[in-house]
A and B are shown apart, each in its own frame.
Chain A
Amino acid sequence: MTAKIPFAAFIRRLAEAGIAVDVPATPVVPARVIEVANDDWGRLGQEANDWGCRWAAGWGDDLGEALRINACFEQAGAYLLARTTVTRSHPMLPSHTPYYPVADRPERHTQDLLGVAFSDHPDARRWTRHRAWKSSEYPLRHDFPAAGRPPAVTPADYQYRFLAAHGSGVYEIPVGPVHAGIIEPGHFRFQAVGETVLNLEEHLGYTHKGIEKIAEGRDVAGLARLAGRVSGDSTVAHTWAACMAMERATGIEPPPRAVWLRALMCERERVANHLGDIGAIGNDVGFAFGSYQFGRLREAWQRASNAAFGHRFMMDRIVPGGVAVDLAPPFLAIMRDEATALRQQVGRLMAILYGSPSLTNRLLGAGVLTPEQASTLGAMGYVGRASSLYFDVRRAAPYPPYDRLKVKAVLHHTGDVNARVRVRHEEIIASLDLIEALLAGLPGGAIRSEWQAPAAGSQGLGIVEGWRGEIISYVRFDDDGHIARFFPRDPSWTTWPALEVLIHDNIVPDFPVCNKSVNGSYSGQDL
C-alpha cells in the first residue's frame, strides 16, 4: 500500500535519519507536503539528493510572524513540497545548494527579496538586488510597499564581485547588459585566454519587475494576466500554470473543451518558439538563409494564431476556469492544413540545414552539456532532452488533456548545439502531431467554468510543460479570495546555469550560438 503513495518510503527514510517530519492536513495539490524543522533543512536536501529527487523549485513566503521556505522536489513525476519556517527575528537556515547547485540562485533570490540567510550557502552575493533597493530592505516582506521606495536616482550597479582569473594572457570581457542587438538585458563576464573561454559568469536581474510583489492582493483574473507577462514568449504556458494552480487551490475543474484549447494554444506556442529559435541559431552563425526561412514560417504561424485566437502570442486567452475565446469551427480545417503544410516545409528546410556542411560544422560539438552536468543542474526542456535527460511533464505527470494524448518522446544524447537543434526540430513535429490530435478530438461544450471563491488560505501548484520545459507556479490565496503569494518558476532558472557550464573551453565567438541554443528567458528568471 505504502509503495503506491509517492514519497512514503522517502518520508520513512527521513524519520530513520532522525529528521522529524510533519505531514500537514491541508494539501497543495498535486504535491505531497512535508514540514521539517529549519535546522534539518540542509539535511533534508542531502537526503533528497541521496534519494535521487530532483530539486525543482524553491521560494519563500512571508507569513507575518514567520517566514516559510519551500522547496519542491520531483521524482518519477511525483512532486514533494518540503517546507520549513524561520522566525522573522532570526531568519537563518541551512542551504540546499551544497547538494543541489541549481538551488543556488533561487536561494539567493529568496535572500535578497525576503531577507533569509542561508548559513552554508557557498555564495552569499546578492543576485536579484541590483542596488535599486537597500541591502537592509526586503521587498517581499509585507511591510515593504508595492511601489517600493525608489531613490531619486537609481545607483549604478557596481561592486559586484565577479570571479577573477589571473595569469599571463588571461583577459576579461564584460558583455552587456546593453547589447549591440535588440535583445533582453543581461551581463556576461568572460574570463578568456586568447579566444578560449576559461569561465563565464552571468549577472542577471536587469529585468526584475517585482512580479511576485505586485501579484499580492490581485484577483484571480488579474493574476492570470500578470502570469502571462512573466515571460512574453511563454505567455500561454505561464498563464496556464498560474490558472491551474488557482483552479487546484479552489477545486474548480475547467471544462474539457477549455483544457483542450489550452493545450492547442500551448503547442502552437511551442512550435512558434522552436521555429524562431532554429532560425536564430542559423543567424548566429551567419547562415542567413535559415534565419529568414524559419523567421518567415514563425511569422506566418503567429499570424494564424492571431486569426484564430485574436492575439499573435495568444496572450490573455487563458483565464481562470477556462479560456477567453472559443475556436470558431472553420479553423479546425484551416489549422489541420496549416499543420500539414508546416510539417512539409520544416522537413524540406531541415534537410537543407542538415545538408549544409558549413552550418553543421558550427553546430556539431559546440557547447556540449554532458548528461552528468545536465542531471546535476536539473536542466529542463530541450536543454535536458539534448543531453540524455528526459523529463516532460506531459508524460511524467500528465495533466488534462495530455492524459488522453500520446506525446512523442524526443531525446538526444550528444548535448551539443546540434542536438538542441534536433530536439527542437523533432519537438515541432511532435507538437504538430499533437495539434492534429487535439483538433480531431476537440470536445464540445462550455469553454469556461463558473469561478467560485476559494477557501481562505488555500494553495495550489500548477505544473505544465512550457516550450522551455517544466513551469511550476505556486499560488496561495488570502482570506478574501485574493492572491497572497504567487511564485512562477520558469525553466530558465535551470538552463541559465547550464549555459555557464556548457560554454567552458568553447571559443568566445561561439558564445552567441551556444547562448541561443539554450535561449533562457531573462524576464522569466528575473521576475
Chain B
Amino acid sequence: MNSLAMSSLTIAWVMAALQTLIFIAAAPLMAGWVKRLKCHMQNRAAPAVWQPYRDLAKLMRKDMVLAENASWLFRATPYIVFGATLLAAAAVPLVVVHLPTAAIADLIVLVGFFALARFFTALAALDIGTAFGGMGASREMTVAALAEPAMLMVVFTLAMTAGTTNLSTATEAVLQAGVVLRPSFLFALFALAMVAVAECGRIPVDNPATHLELTMLHEAMILEYGGRHLALIEWAAQIKLMIYAVLIVDFFFPWGIARDFNAVSLTIGVIAGTAKVMLLAMLLVVWETVLAKIRLFRAPQFLGFAFLLALLGMLTSVVLETGS
C-alpha cells in the first residue's frame, strides 16, 4: 500500500517534470506556428515552424559581447528570467491536472514569478546605462504597473468561483461545473486576453518584430544582449506566451485535459491541449494582423480597460453568481 502510494507519487513527479519539459520544449514551436500563420495571413512565404529552434540554437552557439560596464546583474539576469519563467511553467497544468508541482505555486505566485523576471530585466537594462535600456525599462514598468493589477483582478474573479487560487484545483472546479455560461468568466476571459497581449509584448501594446529602437518596449530592454543570454531571454519570452495561452485554455476551455495518468486520457490531453493552443494562436495572429500598434500613451487606457473588465467580472461574480 505504502509502496503503491510511493510509486504513484514518483509517477506524479515524473509526469510533472515531463510536462514542464514538454512545456519549455514546445514553446518555440508555438512561436514558430504564430510566425508561420502570420506570414500566411500577410501573403508571405513562411519559414518552417522549426525556425525558432534554429534561431535559438544559433544564438546559443554565438559568442557574447558584453558591455564593459556590465555588472553581475546583467550577466545573471538571463538565468533568473529563464529560471522564473521555467518555475511558472511548471505550475501550469498543460496536459494533466493534479500534479505535485501545482501545490508549489498558485496564481498569485505565478504573477510573482513574472514580476520577478521583469524586475531583473529592467534592472539589467538600466545596469549598462544606455539610453535605450532606460527608456525600455521605464516603458515596461509603466505597462507592468497597470497589467499586474488587472491580472490579479482576473485571478480573484476566478478564485471567487473556483474557491481557490490554485491552478490545478481551479481547473478541476471548472471541469466539474460543466458547461455553464458565467458572465463573470466572459469578462475575465477578455481581461486576461488583453493582459496577455500586453505582458507578452504583442501588438497593439508592443511590436515583437520591430527594428525601430525608439518604439520598442521589451526589445529596448534587451537590446544589449547577445549570444546565449539573448537565447535564454527569447526562449523565456516564448514560454511566457505559451503560459498565457495555456492559462486561458485551462480556465475557460479546460475540457479534454487529463485528470488521471492513464494513457488514453493523457493522449486526449495532449491532443486537446495542442489543438486549443493552436486555435488560440490563430486568434492572436488575426488580432495582430488587423491592428496597428497603439500610441504608447494609449497603452494605459488599453490596460485600464482590461482592469475594468476584470473588475466587472468580479462584480458580476459577486452580484449574480455567488449572491444567489
When distances are taken between beta carbons in the complex, the residues of chain B under 8 Å from A195 are: 139, 296-297
When distances are taken between beta carbons in the complex, the residues of chain A under 8 Å from B297 are: 195, 507
Pair A286/B214 contact, Cβ less than 8 Å: no
Please name 8 further chain A to chain B contacts, defined as beta carbons within 8 Å, in addition to the given A285-B293, A287-B291, A356-B292, sorted by A numbering.
A173-B131, A174-B131, A175-B214, A284-B215, A286-B210, A287-B292, A288-B289, A358-B292
The verdict on B135 contacting chain A, using a C-beta distance below 8 Å, is yes
The verdict on A451 contacting chain B, using a C-beta distance below 8 Å, is no
Pair A180/B295 contact, Cβ less than 8 Å: no
The verdict on B203 contacting chain A, using a C-beta distance below 8 Å, is yes
The verdict on A289 contacting chain B, using a C-beta distance below 8 Å, is yes
The verdict on A296 contacting chain B, using a C-beta distance below 8 Å, is yes
Q: List 20 A-B contacts (CB under 8 A).
A: A171-B134, A172-B131, A179-B213, A180-B213, A181-B212, A282-B292, A284-B212, A284-B215, A286-B203, A286-B291, A286-B292, A288-B289, A289-B42, A358-B291, A361-B292, A361-B298, A362-B292, A509-B296, A511-B214, A512-B215
A362 and B290 contact, Cβ closer than 8 Å, known pairs A284-B212, A509-B214: no
The verdict on A100 contacting chain B, using a C-beta distance below 8 Å, is no
Q: How far is the CB of B290 from chain A (nearest CB, A)?
A: 7
Instruction: Name, among A287, A356, A361, the residue most crowded by chain B CB atoms within 10 Å (CB to CB).
Output: A287
When distances are taken between beta carbons in the complex, the residues of chain B under 8 Å from A180 are: 211-213, 223
The verdict on A368 contacting chain B, using a C-beta distance below 8 Å, is no
Docked pose: A182 CA to B211 CA in angstroms: 9
The verdict on B228 contacting chain A, using a C-beta distance below 8 Å, is no
Total number of B residues with any Cβ neighbor in A under 8 Å = 32
Q: How far is the CB of A502 from chain B (nearest CB, A)?
A: 15
Q: Which parts of A349-374 form the interface with B (CB within 8 Å)? A: 356, 358-359, 361-362
Q: How far is the CB of B274 from chain A (nearest CB, A)?
A: 26
Pair B295/A507 contact, Cβ less than 8 Å: yes
When distances are taken between beta carbons in the complex, the residues of chain A under 8 Å from B209 are: 288
Docked pose: A510 CA to B295 CA in angstroms: 8
B294 touches which of A174, A362, A511 (Cβ 8 Å): A362
Q: How far is the CB of A9 from chain B (nearest CB, A)?
A: 49
The verdict on B43 contacting chain A, using a C-beta distance below 8 Å, is yes
Q: How far is the CB of A353 from chain B (nearest CB, A)?
A: 10
Q: How far is the CB of B126 from chain A (nearest CB, A)?
A: 13
Q: A287 — nearest CB in chain B belongs to which residue?
A: B292
Q: A516 — nearest CB in chain B belongs to which residue?
A: B212
Pair A289/B290 contact, Cβ less than 8 Å: yes
The verdict on A293 contacting chain B, using a C-beta distance below 8 Å, is yes
Instruction: Name, among B38, B209, B214, B294, the residue most crowded by chain A CB atoms within 10 Å (CB to CB).
Output: B214
A358 and B44 contact, Cβ closer than 8 Å, known pairs A171-B131, A180-B213: no
Q: B39 — nearest CB in chain A belongs to which residue?
A: A292
Q: How far is the CB of A129 from chain B (nearest CB, A)?
A: 26
A296 and B214 contact, Cβ closer than 8 Å, known pairs A507-B295, A508-B135: no
Q: Which parts of B281-324 form the interface with A (CB within 8 Å)? A: 288-298
> Contact string, A329-361, partner B, CB cutoff 8 A, digits 1/0?
000000000000000000000000000101101
- Using a CB–CB cutoff of 8 Å, the interface residues on chain A facing chain B are 171-175, 179-182, 195, 282, 284-289, 292-293, 296, 356, 358-359, 361-362, 507-512
The verdict on B85 contacting chain A, using a C-beta distance below 8 Å, is no
Docked pose: A172 CA to B210 CA in angstroms: 22
When distances are taken between beta carbons in the complex, the residues of chain B under 8 Å from A285 are: 292-293
B295 touches which of A171, A509, A512 (Cβ 8 Å): A509
When distances are taken between beta carbons in the complex, the residues of chain B under 8 Å from A287 are: 291-293
The verdict on B204 contacting chain A, using a C-beta distance below 8 Å, is yes
Q: How far is the CB of A28 from chain B (nearest CB, A)?
A: 43
- Using a CB–CB cutoff of 8 Å, the interface residues on chain B facing chain A are 38, 41-44, 131-132, 134-135, 139, 203-204, 207, 209-215, 223, 288-298
When distances are taken between beta carbons in the complex, the residues of chain B under 8 Å from A512 are: 212, 214-215
**Considering the complex of A and B, which 5 residue pairs feature the smallest CB-CB distances, nearest first?**
A286-B293, A181-B211, A287-B292, A286-B207, A359-B292
Docked pose: A288 CA to B42 CA in angstroms: 8
Docked pose: A284 CA to B43 CA in angstroms: 19
Docked pose: A242 CA to B209 CA in angstroms: 41
A362 and B131 contact, Cβ closer than 8 Å, known pairs A181-B212, A289-B42, A512-B214: no
Docked pose: A361 CA to B299 CA in angstroms: 13
Docked pose: A508 CA to B297 CA in angstroms: 11
Docked pose: A179 CA to B210 CA in angstroms: 12
When distances are taken between beta carbons in the complex, the residues of chain B under 8 Å from A507 are: 295-297
Docked pose: A12 CA to B211 CA in angstroms: 56
When distances are taken between beta carbons in the complex, the residues of chain B under 8 Å from A296 are: 43
Docked pose: A68 CA to B134 CA in angstroms: 49
Docked pose: A508 CA to B216 CA in angstroms: 10
When distances are taken between beta carbons in the complex, the residues of chain B under 8 Å from A179 are: 211, 213
Docked pose: A282 CA to B203 CA in angstroms: 13
Instruction: Name, among A172, A179, A195, the residue most crowded by chain B CB atoms within 10 Å (CB to CB).
Output: A195
A356 and B295 contact, Cβ closer than 8 Å, known pairs A286-B207, A289-B42, A512-B214: no
When distances are taken between beta carbons in the complex, the residues of chain A under 8 Å from B134 are: 171
Docked pose: A172 CA to B134 CA in angstroms: 11
Docked pose: A153 CA to B295 CA in angstroms: 43
Docked pose: A171 CA to B133 CA in angstroms: 13
Q: A366 — nearest CB in chain B belongs to which residue?
A: B295
When distances are taken between beta carbons in the complex, the residues of chain B under 8 Å from A293 are: 42-43
Docked pose: A508 CA to B44 CA in angstroms: 31
When distances are taken between beta carbons in the complex, the residues of chain A under 8 Å from B288 are: 288
When distances are taken between beta carbons in the complex, the residues of chain A under 8 Å from B294 are: 358, 361-362
Q: B288 — nearest CB in chain A belongs to which residue?
A: A288
Docked pose: A195 CA to B139 CA in angstroms: 9
Pair B42/A175 contact, Cβ less than 8 Å: no
When distances are taken between beta carbons in the complex, the residues of chain B under 8 Å from A358 are: 204, 290-292, 294
Docked pose: A175 CA to B223 CA in angstroms: 13
When distances are taken between beta carbons in the complex, the residues of chain B under 8 Å from A362 are: 292-295
Q: A365 — nearest CB in chain B belongs to which residue?
A: B295
Docked pose: A466 CA to B203 CA in angstroms: 36
Docked pose: A514 CA to B28 CA in angstroms: 34
Docked pose: A512 CA to B211 CA in angstroms: 10
Q: How far is the CB of A266 from chain B (nearest CB, A)?
A: 30
When distances are taken between beta carbons in the complex, the residues of chain A under 8 Å from B295 are: 361-362, 507, 509-510
Q: A174 — nearest CB in chain B belongs to which residue?
A: B131
Q: A508 — nearest CB in chain B belongs to which residue?
A: B214
Q: How far is the CB of A74 from chain B (nearest CB, A)?
A: 35
Pair A173/B292 contact, Cβ less than 8 Å: no
Docked pose: A439 CA to B64 CA in angstroms: 57
When distances are taken between beta carbons in the complex, the residues of chain B under 8 Å from A292 are: 42-44
Docked pose: A480 CA to B45 CA in angstroms: 56
Docked pose: A509 CA to B294 CA in angstroms: 10
Docked pose: A253 CA to B204 CA in angstroms: 56
Docked pose: A507 CA to B294 CA in angstroms: 12
Q: B294 — nearest CB in chain A belongs to which residue?
A: A358
When distances are taken between beta carbons in the complex, the residues of chain B under 8 Å from A288 are: 38, 42, 209, 288-289
Docked pose: A247 CA to B142 CA in angstroms: 61
Q: How far is the CB of A77 from chain B (nearest CB, A)?
A: 39
When distances are taken between beta carbons in the complex, the residues of chain A under 8 Å from B139 are: 195
